[in-house]
Amino acid sequence: MKNILIVLLGAALAVVLGLYAYMYLGMYNMGADSPHWRMTVSMLTMMRERSIEMHAAEVVVPSNLDDPAVILKGAGQYAAMCTGCHLAPGIADSEIRPGLYPRPPNLSKVRVDPREAFWVIKHGIKMSAMPAWGFSHDDATIWTMVAFLRKLPGMTPTEYRDIVAKAPPDDDMGPMDRDMPMGDHASAAASPTHRP
């Protein structure tokens, strides 16, 4: 009995040491162009979906998501910050998107659950390109993005262009950044017409 225990402990130790050596020796390919095994993908997918479901369950959805002013503000936010990765009607690809792993969903085709979308936008998703926008945006602004995402699938390229043209400017950025899909805050701060 005692011998079996020692053998089992030894085997467990060998596995842990082997895994550690594999990681420490740099044998794992961290490249974004080297896909995971299918088993790893299904484990990560399960973990991500369950995590978002559990964490989003507590989120309280505000009652103004159908307010046209809220949707309009969300359109401006989306056009300024999200299309490079998530595309839009009339925007079929971008330079950054093909190289992202995991590939961001095309949000002009996918319907999202408002609670889960809010949670993901605010907190981001670890080890993916999805940022935690909660560091730079308050909850009310994030809800405008969710309100817009509810309308986005099914919009035509013309409807999309019109709503973005009417949207109030994204007040976190200078006007120079408005036309760029992923304007950065540093150049907005440097622009003389930037409003605080």
**Stretch touching ligand HEC by CB under 6 A, among 15-23, 55-63, 81-89, 163-171:** 81-89
CB 187, min distance to ligand HEC, A: 16
Q: Which is nearer to ligand HEC, 116 or 159 (CB)?
A: 116
Which of residues 110, 140, 165, 190 is near ligand HEC by CB under 6 A? 110
DSSP sequence for 16-57: HHHHHHHHHTT-S---TTSPPPHHHHHHHHHHHHHHHHHHHT
Closer by beta carbon to ligand HEC, 19 or else 66: 66
Crossing angle of the two packed helices 114-123 and 38-56, in degrees rounded to 10 = 100
Are 74 and 146 in contact by the 8 Å Cβ rule? The answer is yes
Chain centroid, CA 34 distance in Å = 21
Count the residues of the shown chain that bind ligand HEC, applying the rule CB under 6 A. 22
Among 87, 91, 145, 152, interactor with ligand HEC by CB under 6 A? 145
Least distance to ligand HEC, CB of residue 92, Å: 16
117 binds ligand HEC (CB under 6 A): yes
Cα–Cα distance measured from residue 43 to residue 159, given in angstroms and rounded to the nearest whole number: 39
Contact at 8 Å (CB) between 168 and 159?
Answer: no
d(CA 103, CA 87): 12
Binding mask 120-139 for ligand HEC (x = CB under 6 A): xx---x--xxx--x------
The answer to whether 85 and 19 are in contact (CB under 8 A) is: no
Report the interface residues with ligand HEC, using CB under 6 A. Answer: 48, 78, 81-82, 84-86, 100, 102, 104-105, 110, 112, 117, 120-121, 125, 128-130, 133, 145
